[in-house]
Structure 1
Amino acid sequence: MRKVRTAVLISGRGSNMMALVEAARDPGYPAEIACVVSNRADAKGLDFARSNGIPAAVIDHKAYPAREGFEDALDRHLRSLGVEIVALAGFMRVLTAGFIARWEGRLINIHPSLLPAYKGLHTHERALADGARTHGCSAHLVTAELDGGPVLLQAEVPVLAGDTPDMLATRVLEQEHRIYPQALAIVAERLSHSPKDVK
């Protein structure tokens, strides 16, 4: 079994990226974190990547007049490093259908809700406003439909009396850190038994 080269895309602190890096330290884990890329130079997660010997790059979306130009630069960078899987970890850019098609079946995301509930932003606030009794997170394949791709894994957390959005987010994030490495392993395991084929 070969380790599948994986890129993690971040826009901030990258706590889910850190969870993937920690999981990939296991010699038996089917993926290696080949690089970390951010669209923001001030993303704190870049320092973590560099301090752990992982190549970290900034591709600033503001430097490109159109999303396609930014994504072309991102795609070239990923392919230059032999990346086979792209894991979104707090990457605050909506990707175009064209980019997603290039990485079909190899682009994953972690979302803070039990999809298909609460697609998009402000999931914890919306769950509390609705009086939801359970909330959670979903690791899923990315498709052109926002937060609409096939779910790989989910984890539930109870909504407790007196919860604030921050309190609920903290418990959900703990589960994100648990299931996202498992979801990456599912996709990497499938690819690790196939010849390397980056389109």
Structure 2
Amino acid sequence: MPSTPCDVVVLLSGTGSNLQALIDSTRSGDSPVRIRAVVSNRADAYGLQRASAAGIDTAVLDHKAFDGREAFDAALVELIDGFAPQLVVLAGFMRILSAGFVRHYQGRLLNIHPSLLPKYKGLHTHQRALEAGDREHGCSVHFVTEELDGGPLVVQAVIPVVSDDTPERLAQRVHSQEHQIYPLAVRWFAEGRLRLGEHGALLDGQPLAASGHLIRP
């Protein structure tokens, strides 16, 4: 394990439940992760309150104050880099990031998505899984690339779809798994075990399968 903590900046737009899972995971004395700051494009994001309650620096950068995505992303890069993080974590950040932003943080930018990628990129994943009659659903952590929800997979949690599932019930069960696998992936990165190689994600120096590391709770 590295002798100094891995500094992380978290980006979010909403309630920050995945942020809370990350905060909770760092409270053990041996955590290699240090959350340096939480940044939101929305001043009313509840995730900012979670960060403040944990003594974490917060910042707001309103995308509506900028002329276009590139201008916003350039200001966002400047803000993030002021905290000098080794890793940037997207935790419900509801902005499509520009290619320049993604390239700047290549190999140190993670996202979580509520489906078993490559299935159901984008929105309404739980409804789409039910409409398709899927027997399994779940969530995925991946490195971010210029392809939306298309970067190399790190870890997926797979849960069964049951006969009386609704989108809301399914979402609740998926969220509980997100709160397990996101801290796990961030810890792997902080420990130096996880990195992005030329052909995909590597864990302990070995290529991960295209599906990432699979967990079936």
TM-score, with structure 1 as normaliser:
0.94
In structure 1, what is the Cα distance between the partners aligned to 2:153 and 2:10? 19
Shift of 1:72: 1.2
Matched with 1:51 is: 53
Highest relative contact order (Cα 8 Å, sep 6+), 1 or 2? 1
In structure 2, what is the Cα distance between the partners aligned to 1:146 and 1:80? 26
Task: Give the one of 177, 184, 187 matched to 1:185.
Answer: 187
CA RMSD, Structure 1 to Structure 2 (Å): 1.2
Percent identity reads 54
In structure 2, what is the Cα distance between the partners aligned to 1:91 and 1:99? 14
Shift of 1:48: 1.1
Structure 2: unaligned runs, 5 residues or longer: 195-217
In structure 1, what is the Cα distance between the partners aligned to 2:29 and 2:106? 27
Instruction: Considering fraction of residues, name the structure with more helix.
Output: 1
Shift of 1:27: 2.4
In structure 2, what is the Cα distance between the partners aligned to 1:49 and 1:150? 28
Matched with 2:130 is: 128
In structure 2, what is the Cα distance between the partners aligned to 1:43 and 1:139? 22
Matched with 2:37 is: 35
Shift of 1:83: 1.4
Q: Does 2:83 match 1:87?
A: no
Q: Is the partner of 1:190 in helix, strand or coil? A: coil
Task: Give the one of 117, 120, 125 matched to 1:118.
Answer: 120
**Which aligned runs of 4 or more in structure 1 are off by greater than 4 angstroms?**
none
1:33·1:54 contact (CA, 8 Å) conserved in 2? yes
Q: Is the partner of 2:192 in helix, strand or coil? A: helix
TM-score, with structure 2 as normaliser:
0.86
* Total equivalences in the alignment: 192
2:139·2:157 contact (CA, 8 Å) conserved in 1? yes
Matched with 1:145 is: 147
Instruction: Considering fraction of residues, name the structure with more strand.
Output: 2
Q: Does 2:167 match 1:165?
A: yes
In structure 1, what is the Cα distance between the partners aligned to 2:115 and 2:50? 26
Shift of 1:92: 0.4
Matched with 2:200 is: none
Q: Which moved more, 1:183-192 or 1:139-148?
A: 183-192
Query: Which residue identity lines up with residue 3 of structure 1 in the other structure?
Result: P
Shift of 1:97: 1.0
In structure 1, what is the Cα distance between the partners aligned to 2:193 and 2:157? 24
